[in-house]
Structure 1
Amino acid sequence: MTLPPPPHLPFFVYGTLRPGEPNHDLFLRGRTAREEPARMSGLKLYDGPGYPYAVEESGGAVSGELVTARPQAYGELLAALDQLENCVPGDPRSLYDRVARQAVRESDGTPVRAWVYVAAPAVAARLRARGTPIESGDWLTRR
């Protein structure tokens, strides 16, 4: 059975893909139509270290950017981000799962459905047990 292609949703990025972070220019430069500050509830941020993991947990919220890909770059960007995040749908060895969740634009409070990479179940369990949370929910304030 072949899976249907994923819908063309924007991406909610919260770590090394944010402006000024190391992967932003490597993966996003020239591929985006818009990038805007946003928040996503229902997530708690943990230090990787070196990169963050968002873990699905009620009561938490994470700051990031809502990234809208240029239409002609969407497929290429989706594949590149899946590879960067070690996300292989259905593979239990993946570090992250790509899931569709609701983000909220900081500029006007508009809800937007977006892809977000969250810690895969085994990784999330380890982080909940022994991880270092980033209490602010903002990777850029971790230092």
Structure 2
Amino acid sequence: MADPVLPLFVYGTLRSGQRNHTHYLGGHCTRIEPAVLAGAVLHQGPGYPYAVADPDPGRRVRGELITVRPADFARVLTALDELEGCRPDGTGYYVRLRRPVIVTAHGERVAAWVYLAGPELSARLRARPAPIPSGDWVDPA
């Protein structure tokens, strides 16, 4: 069964103006809006961030909600899964999960695909966590 067409919540190198945005998302987006993922903590990885779920809904990751043109969705999602090392069995670098995201401009909750650190990445970086207090990789202050 095909994955449902949902917007993507991105918080690192796929955000507008960041190094992977143009290559993977350029020309495929119909809307880009500031958004927040509640119940997650953002960490500084080796040149890219990673988010992990957190039981505290007050912990937040800031990013963008990106709507991909439906005709391009399956191709874009496949490319992003590859980029993120996302494996169908959930053992990869990242796992892609359906999560509620809050659109900053009007507070609406929207279901979106989110890449969170998977077991492989978490195990590799567990010894040296580097949380980003602001929850924003682009503006960590």
Could you say whether these structures have the same fold, taking a TM-score greater than 0.5 normalized by the shorter chain as the test?
yes
Say whether residues 1:110 and 2:108 are aligned partners. Answer: yes
> What's the CA shift for 1:130?
2.2
Give the deviation of 1:70 after TM superposition: 0.3
Give the SS at the match of 2:98: strand
Q: Counting strand residues as a fraction of each chain, which structure ranks higher?
A: 1
Map of 1:132 onto structure 2? 130
Unpaired runs of 5+ residues, structure 2, are: none
Question: In 1, Cα distance between the equivalents of 2:133 and 2:125?
Answer: 14
Letter in 2 for 1:89: P
TM-score (norm 2): 0.92
* Matching residue within 50, 58, 63 for 2:55: 58
Give the CA deviation at 1:88. 1.1
**Alpha-carbon distance in 2 for matches of 1:82, 1:112:** 21
Contiguous gaps of at least 5 residues in structure 1: none
Match of 2:81 in 1: 82
By how many angstroms is 1:132 displaced?
Answer: 0.8
Bigger share in helix: 1
Matched to 1:95, the amino acid is Y
Q: Matched residue pairs, number?
A: 139
TM-score, normalised to structure 1, is 0.91
Q: Which of structure 1's runs of 4+ aligned residues deviate more than 2 A?
A: 121-130
Q: What CA RMSD, in Å, does the superposition of the two structures yield over aligned residues?
A: 1.4
